[in-house]
Amino acid sequence: MGVINVSPDSFSGDGLADVEGALARAERLASEGADMIDIGGESTRPASTPISIDEELRRVIPVVEKLAHKISLPLSVDTYKLEVARQALNAGADIINDIWGLKKEPRLAELAAQENVPIVLMSNQRGSPCRDIMHAVISDLKRAIKRALDAGVPRENIIIDPGIGFGKTQGQNLEVLRRLEELQTLGRPILLGSSRKSFIGWVLDLDPEQRSSEVAFVPPNDQRLEGTAATIAIGVAKGADIVRVHDVKEMARVCKMSDALVRGV
């Protein structure tokens, strides 16, 4: 899953401001081996200022419309707002990616059921820190899955994401990756979003001034590439089915090699 951020304050430093720039990036991601593209209009970094529905629509919908006509890959919309998701699906998006796992907007499940589209449910600990992180993540995902099923979402349309970052300490991020295979008990495909996250800089001591923060800005010439590759390889080995990445060419190669070793694919 290649990432397109149309927010000016993206934590990864790759935010785009115009439709043509997003199209150019999407075409490059497709040529580099992306299987799907995730489009987000609001920064998810800690302490970022939430944007209005109108502003998110202004950023996201023209990009979805353009890519739906120009790119053959499935498009995912990264939003927790019902109206943004609805209009994005009408514009050509194929997947809803909810970073709040139906906590902020349970009606996203009803929309996914009505439109018969996949929905990604992420475990988000912001505002509810915990000590036993895997228990919290699994419990959270079980709740989200039940809510989606109760709303009529077919089980095969549910994808789960442990939510690397998102209210977890740096040590907890490492623990989630280390124990990722435990999510297989939930019986749904696992999406892993570890790309360029701050725990990589924390481990590699690339951001000494940011060691206590959840996410830090990184320059476009990312210094977390090798660390990201390690998380992707180990994530695939531990059961990740989808990896959400910024550096598609490099990570597609990591995935191909990891699949060959782990799954014989």
Tens digit of pLDDT for each residue in 111-137?
Answer: 999 999 999 999 999 999 999 999 999
pLDDT at 95: 98
User: For 245-250, what is the mean pLDDT?
Assistant: 96
Does residue 99 carry a pLDDT above 90? Answer: yes
Is residue 168 part of the annotated active site? The answer reads: no
pLDDT at 47: 66
Residue 213: band (very low, low, confident or very high) from pLDDT cuts 50, 70, 90: very low
Tell me the domain boundaries of the chain: 2-262
Superfamily of domain 2-262: Dihydropteroate synthase-like (3.20.20.20)
Q: What residues contact residue 152 under an 8 Å CB cut-off, 6+ apart?
A: 109, 110, 113, 114
User: What is the percent of the chain where pLDDT is above 70?
Assistant: 89
User: For 252-259, what is the mean pLDDT?
Assistant: 97
- Tell me how far apart the alpha carbons of residues 190 and 209 are, in angstroms, rounded to a whole number: 32
At 75, list the tokens: 């498009």
Query: Dihedrals φ, ψ of 3, to 5°?
Result: -105, 130
Mean pLDDT taken over the chain: 91
pLDDT at 191: 98
Does residue 220 carry a pLDDT above 50? Answer: no
Is residue 197 part of the annotated active site? The answer reads: yes
User: What is the percent of the chain where pLDDT is above 90?
Assistant: 83
User: What string of H, E and C letters represents the secondary structure of 4-67?
Assistant: EECCCCCCCCCCCCCHHHHHHHHHHHHHHCCCCEEEECCCCCCCCCCCCHHHHHHHHHHHHHHH
Using DSSP bridges, classify how beta strands 158-161 and 191-192 pair: parallel, antiparallel or unpaired.
unpaired
Catalytic-labelled residue, pool 196, 197, 224, 238: 197
Give the torsion sign (CA, 2, 249, 206, 231).
positive
Q: What residues contact residue 237 under an 8 Å CB cut-off, 6+ apart?
A: 258, 261, 262
Does residue 11 carry a pLDDT above 70? Answer: no
At 56, list the tokens: 């998110």
pLDDT at 265: 80
Catalytic-labelled residue, pool 25, 81, 168, 244: 244
User: For 93-115, what is the mean pLDDT?
Assistant: 98
